[in-house]
Amino acid sequence: MSGSSASVCVVFGGSRGIGRTVCQHMARIGYSVVCASRQRETCEEVVKNLTKQTEGEMGHLSVECDVSEEESVVAACQFIIERAKRADVLVNAAGVNKDSLLMRLKSNDIRYHVNTNLVGSMLTCRGLLPLMLKQRRGAIINIGSVVGSVGNVGQSAYSASKAGLIGFTRSLAKEVGSRGVRANVLAPGFIETDMTAGISADSQQLLIDSIPIRRFGTVEETAHAVEFLAAASYVTGQVLVVDGGMSMAGGI
């Protein structure tokens, strides 16, 4: 599936980090982009800059959405259905992470991880599947994490939500594959974003030493992986790990 003036890429969590870069990259290769985020002004800023790069038949749209709130997701999906009228690629990049040992983690924090990282993606997929099924084509790319497969100290809630995302995505791939819709997980390792910026210099160096490529990844490299999954028409139900070999080397 290649970008064209008629192709639409919807990115939830598109106002920052990986999601923002995915918006920029997909616009550059020819997609009309719908940027969805709970940060309305930032989302509008992203779209304003995208319009200067490329503009398809629809142009680019922004929509406010908090994926942890079902009513917000339903409203955003309805907006997309009415305005964009199609969804060729859906990228679920909205996510939260609050490191803490389980015994110190508050119940509200556990629910927030699950509602945002897992349930939110389920709701956006449910909301936009009617478009994809009608089109008989579509690529769903859920942004997971390597810790969803291998776990990590202090990230029990985050890891659980990302592990659930794998099971959900593989089940969905089986449900909708016969209708031309694919679903995959992109699982980044340590990527240079605001989430990793708070890691101390010493801890960053220890992590880098455990990565065969000897550096953190970039958001641009992750966006290229999204492009691959959007175009890889015979790939579904898979987890594409983008971590510089860290999990392979036992670095986490």
Determine the longest span between alpha carbons in the chain, in angstroms: 52
Query: Phi-psi category of 223—alpha, beta or left, where left has phi over 0 and alpha has psi -120 to 50?
Result: alpha
Print burial letters for 165-187: b (CB count within 10 Å at least 16), e (below 16). bbebbbebbeebeeeebbbbbbb
158 is catalytic: yes
Query: What distance in Å separates the CA atoms of residue 111 and residue 100, rounded to the nearest whole number?
Result: 14
DSSP-assigned letters across all residues of 196-212? HHTS-HHHHHHHHHTST
Q: Which residue out of 31, 112, 158, 234 is catalytically annotated?
A: 158
Q: Answer whether 240's CB lies under 8 Å from 188's CB.
A: no
Burial of residue 196, with CB atoms counted within 10 A of its CB: 0-12 exposed, 13-18 middle, 19 or more buried? middle
Active-site residue set: 158
